[in-house]
């Protein structure tokens, strides 16, 4: 039985119908593995024009012609049509096959079989067609089983990476989901161990035992300068239908590459069924552009949280399209308002990622922009030419992020502005991972701080420490002891004092600057400071008191 969807010529000769005719292979014995797509019996001299290729042609020899030139032309045309084999029954026209027929079959590589006994062609046709249909049905059953497993994966909470992992396990080769123009969205390899990201790595990946799908894609797909020559030999490419206008709308492409072994007809069938499932998943996730942005966000998050090693990071970043120069890297994280109340419906994550990428590309700044919608976070990695341009680039990145949020319409009117945090300049991928992690935590800790274009993560370590202690009851008790009386006063008074104390401490106790910022005359400020000292029972000129009050004012954002 041939695994490509039919039976082989050798198998057809073993069936009772042809075996009873005492078949003798006189040419093409080394090509009996050819697939028999169908069986046809006919005697017309021009029968080659009626065939499509892959047929097992049964003949009594009447149509082969009487002259050697006719016989050679007949066999040559069959070979050009790429039929599976020519079977000639001796007795009606020939007692043995003419030399012209045998020699031409050998020179063209056409399997040629002569039958020494009469057989019922209808019996041969029925037997071979039954074998073909039965095998095709078996392949359909296997493909349907894969389809059911993919469906169960989705029902169990899995997503695109898990569906691709199921398909990769079945075909024993890496599987990829690309955009219609060839950009990688997700990758998976056989023998899936764990989901490395939700995708694809872009991009999400499913880690594999022995086969690295990202390296495979970069080597066989990503490095090809032109895509016009099509996929590598033996690959399977299946369109994933999109939701756009027209019957031919393509949202993405499912690609199987024959790395560990050949891809068979059943693998294409399984891919075609998986493509339908993926179309639904992609439609639910809106579009492949957002999936790619999520994949990049997954990669950056995996790097920050240790699920992607610094050694593997450069290759994955290249696959995702991030190709900085030799300079250092700058990790940046933007966080949208907590709770989701400030977010407008409809998402807009893909629009945001595209807007930021286009803006920074226009000024020659390489950037890898990812999104993490569940956490309301946008991690980025920016390439610098030198450490000295950190501030200028951070200004540009922060402006692009805020403009992208506005362009995407992601915030409700009156919502707090997003927080943008830049980490320290990183010279290697291990430092990048630490910087991304630090920036992400600092962005969460900076919620509620006075609005700034961007914050330097290195200057918010105190806020980060307090944020990490936010669940500890001692922190709430400390805040209550330090500024509880002021909070109680402000709750019932029309003249709150906490803003005065906060501004006073921010200016390091300089009364003239404090009064100027609060638009107060000096005597009014003096009176308020005296009232604050009285309520707290402390001396505002004492350094330890000032330190405790400063920490309490920062910590109150994190406690109820």
Rounded CA separation 379/118 (Å):
76
Co-location of 207 and 90 in the same domain: no
Indicate if 353 and 271 belong to the same structural domain: no
Last residue of one domain, picked from the residues 77, 108, 128: 128
465 falls within a domain: no
Report DSSP state, residue 203: -
Contact 244, 229 (CB under 8 A): no
pLDDT of residue 196: 32
Within a domain: residue 174? yes
Three-class SS state of 204: strand
Q: Please give the Cα distance from 168 to 190 (Å, whole number).
A: 5
Q: Give a yes or no: residue 185 inside a domain.
A: yes
What's the pLDDT score for residue 286?
60
The last residue of one of the domains, among 90, 109, 128, is 128
Count: domains in the chain? 4
With beta carbons less than 8 A apart as the criterion, state whether 215 and 223 touch. Answer: no
pTM value surpassing 0.75: no
Query: Do 443 and 480 fall into the same domain?
Result: no
Residue 153 lies in a domain: no
pLDDT of residue 333: 97
Q: Is residue 303 part of a domain?
A: no
In this predicted model, what pLDDT tens digit does every residue of 213-228 receive, in sequence order? Answer: 777 766 665 544 444 4
Q: CA end-to-end span of the chain, whole Å? A: 72
85: β partners: 56
Q: What does the pLDDT read at residue 265?
A: 81
The tokens of 273 are what?
């069924």
Predicted local distance difference test score (pLDDT) of residue 231? 66
Note the pLDDT of residue 206: 44
Q: Of 409, 426, 460, which marks where a domain is finished? A: 460
Q: Are residues 456 and 477 in the same domain?
A: no
For residue 480, what is the domain's CATH number?
Answer: 1.10.10.2840
For residue 75, give its domain range: 7-128
Residues 447 and 480 in one domain: no
CATH number at residue 285: 3.30.450
Cβ pair 461, 439 in contact under 8 A? no
* 498 lies in the same domain as 431: no
Q: Are residues 378 and 452 in the same domain?
A: yes
Residue ranges of the chain whose pLDDT lies below 70: 1-6, 191-211, 217-231, 243-249, 284-288, 338-347, 560
| 16 and 78 inside one domain | yes
Within a domain: residue 307?
A: no
My answer on whether 282 and 333 are in the same domain is no
CATH of the domain at 353: 3.30.70.2740
Other CB atoms within 10 Å distance of the CB of residue 391? 11
pLDDT of residue 78: 93
> Which pairs from 163-169 meet CB under 8 Å and 24+ separation?
163/274, 163/277, 163/278, 163/281, 164/188, 164/200, 164/206, 164/274, 165/189, 165/192, 165/195, 165/206, 166/192, 166/274, 167/254, 167/256, 167/270, 167/271, 167/274, 168/192, 168/206, 168/208, 168/213
Domain co-membership, 177 together with 285? yes
Residue-level pLDDT at 187: 84
pLDDT tens per residue, range 63-94? 898 899 999 999 999 999 999 999 999 988 89
Q: Are residues 453 and 479 in the same domain?
A: no
For residue 166, give the 3-state DSSP assignment: helix
> Residues 319, 322, 328, 329: is their CA dihedral positive or negative?
negative
* Cα distance between residue 252 and residue 250, in whole Å: 6
Q: Is residue 121 part of a domain?
A: yes
139 located within any domain: no
């Amino acid at each position: 039985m041939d695994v490509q969807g039919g039976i082989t010529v050798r198998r057809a000769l073993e069936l009772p119908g042809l075996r009873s005719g005492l078949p003798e292979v006189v040419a093409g014995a080394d090509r009996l593995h050819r697939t028999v797509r169908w069986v046809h019996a006919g005697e017309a001299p021009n029968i080659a024009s009626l065939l499509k290729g892959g047929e097992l042609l049964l003949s009594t020899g009447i149509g082969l012609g009487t002259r050697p030139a006719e016989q050679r032309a007949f066999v040559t045309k069959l070979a050009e049509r790429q039929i599976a084999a020519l079977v000639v029954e001796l007795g009606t026209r020939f007692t043995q096959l003419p030399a012209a027929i045998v020699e031409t079959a050998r020179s063209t590589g056409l399997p040629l079989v002569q039958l020494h006994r009469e057989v019922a062609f209808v019996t041969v046709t029925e037997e071979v067609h039954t074998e073909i249909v039965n095998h095709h049905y078996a392949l359909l059953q296997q493909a349907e089983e894969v389809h059911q497993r993919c469906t169960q994966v989705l029902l169990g909470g899995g997503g695109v990476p898990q569906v691709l992992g199921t398909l990769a396990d079945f075909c024993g080769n890496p599987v990829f989901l690309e955009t219609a123009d060839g950009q990688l969205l997700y990758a998976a390899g056989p023998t899936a161990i764990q989901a490395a990201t939700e995708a694809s790595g872009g991009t999400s990946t499913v880690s594999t035992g022995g086969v690295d799908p990202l390296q495979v894609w970069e080597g066989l797909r990503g490095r090809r300068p032109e895509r016009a020559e099509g996929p590598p030999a033996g690959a399977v490419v299946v369109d994933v239908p999109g939701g756009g206008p027209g019957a031919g709308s393509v949202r993405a492409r499912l690609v199987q590459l024959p790395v560990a072994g050949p891809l068979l007809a059943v693998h294409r069938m399984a891919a075609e069924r998986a493509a339908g499932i993926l179309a639904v998943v992609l439609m639910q996730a809106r579009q492949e552009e957002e999936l790619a942005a999520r994949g990049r966000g997954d990669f950056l998050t995996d790097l920050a949280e240790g699920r992607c090693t610094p050694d593997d990071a450069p290759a994955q970043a290249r696959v995702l399209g991030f190709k900085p120069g030799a300079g250092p890297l700058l990790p940046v994280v933007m966080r949208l308002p907590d709770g989701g109340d400030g977010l407008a419906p409809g998402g807009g994550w893909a629009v945001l990622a595209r807007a930021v990428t286009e803006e920074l590309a226009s000024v020659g700044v390489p950037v890898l922009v990812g999104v993490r919608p569940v956490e309301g976070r946008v991690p980025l990695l920016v390439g610098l030419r030198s450490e000295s341009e950190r501030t200028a680039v951070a200004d540009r990145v922060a402006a692009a992020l805020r403009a992208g949020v506005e362009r995407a319409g992601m915030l409700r009117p009156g919502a707090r502005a997003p927080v943008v945090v830049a980490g320290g300049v990183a010279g290697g991928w291990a430092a990048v991972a630490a910087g991304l992690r630090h920036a992400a935590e600092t962005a969460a800790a900076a919620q509620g701080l006075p609005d700034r274009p961007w914050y330097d993560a290195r200057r918010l370590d105190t806020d980060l420490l307090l944020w990490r202690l936010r669940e500890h009851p001692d922190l709430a008790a400390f805040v209550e002891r330090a500024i509880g009386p002021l909070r109680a006063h402000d709750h019932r008074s029309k003249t709150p004092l906490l803003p005065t104390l906060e501004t006073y401490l921010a200016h390091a106790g300089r009364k003239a600057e404090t009064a100027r910022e609060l638009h107060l005359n000096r005597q009014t400020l003096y009176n308020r400071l005296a009232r604050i000292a009285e309520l707290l029972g402390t001396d505002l000129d004492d350094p330890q008191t000032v330190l405790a009050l400063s920490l309490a004012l920062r910590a109150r954002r994190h406690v109820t």
